[in-house]
């Protein structure tokens, strides 16, 4: 397995560990078409192999991992209180209306259901060095996203910075280990 996939697997393991498995019958994987190289190594493939119940891939474009084609900037079109878990890995920064998206997630989750989000950190070293994607509408600090999630009505179970880099730069990874504020990825576990 190449170096590129090590952080992907680490992130996938952390996501699965933090899902609400006591109710986990239906899990939505938003952004399922992203970063596909090999279904066994994609987040969606990992979820399908390691989460009991139904795992549905939701994305704006079709792929081998997409079960439902849907623009996440629109209504999510799932019944109220019908979903056990939602995973949105590296998705929310691409949405024009993240507050509305979080409200929709809150609406469709069952009581006790969880929304797990990973997103780039505004304080991450990669952004401070000017390596920002032109496709990102919003970038958050840990505190700003925490406050946004609470304002929407979620209970924040976990909020932390992860040292997950998608490149081989040893210097960037080392700085992230030594100075947690510079870690590039935010990880949130939110509960209805």
pLDDT surpasses 70 at 58: yes
Distance separating alpha carbons of residues 51 and 25, to the nearest angstrom: 9
Summarised one tens digit per residue, pLDDT across range 84-111 is 999 999 899 999 999 999 999 999 999 9
Domain boundaries 5-191, corresponding CATH code:
3.40.50.150
94, two tokens? 């691409």
Q: How far is CA 38 from CA 41, 44, 59, 176, in A?
A: 5, 10, 17, 28
pLDDT at res. 165: 64
Summarised one tens digit per residue, pLDDT across range 13-38 is 999 999 998 877 999 999 887 655 55
> pTM of the full predicted structure?
0.90
- Specify whether the CB–CB gap between 5 and 31 falls below 8 A: no
Strand order in the sheet with 26-30: 68-69, 54-59, 26-30, 83-89, 109-120, 185-191, 155-162
User: For the stretch 142-174, what's the b/e string if a residue is b when 16 or more beta carbons lie within 10 angstroms of its beta carbon?
Assistant: beebbebbeebebeeeebebbbbbbeeeeebbe
144, two tokens? 């700003």
pLDDT at res. 79: 96
- The pLDDT mean for the chain works out to 86
């Amino acid at each position: 397995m190449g170096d590129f996939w090590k952080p992907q697997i680490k992130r996938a393991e952390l996501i699965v560990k933090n899902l609400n498995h006591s109710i986990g019958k239906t899990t939505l994987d938003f952004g399922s078409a992203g970063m596909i190289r090999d279904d066994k190594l994609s987040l969606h493939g990992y979820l399908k192999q390691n989460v009991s119940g139904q795992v549905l891939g939701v994305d704006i474009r079709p792929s081998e991992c997409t079960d439902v084609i849907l623009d996440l900037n629109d209504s999510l079109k799932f019944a109220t209180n019908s979903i056990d878990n939602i995973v949105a890995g590296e998705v929310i920064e691409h949405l024009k209306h993240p507050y509305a998206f979080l409200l929709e997630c809150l609406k469709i989750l069952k009581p006790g259901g969880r929304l797990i989000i990973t997103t780039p950190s505004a304080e991450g070293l990669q952004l401070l060095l000017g390596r920002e994607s032109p496709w990102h509408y919003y970038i958050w600090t840990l505190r700003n996203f925490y406050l946004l999630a609470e304002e929407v009505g979620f209970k924040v179970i976990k909020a932390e910075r992860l040292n997950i880099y998608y490149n081989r730069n040893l210097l960037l990874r080392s700085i992230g280990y030594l100075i947690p504020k510079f870690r590039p990825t935010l990880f949130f576990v939110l509960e209805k």
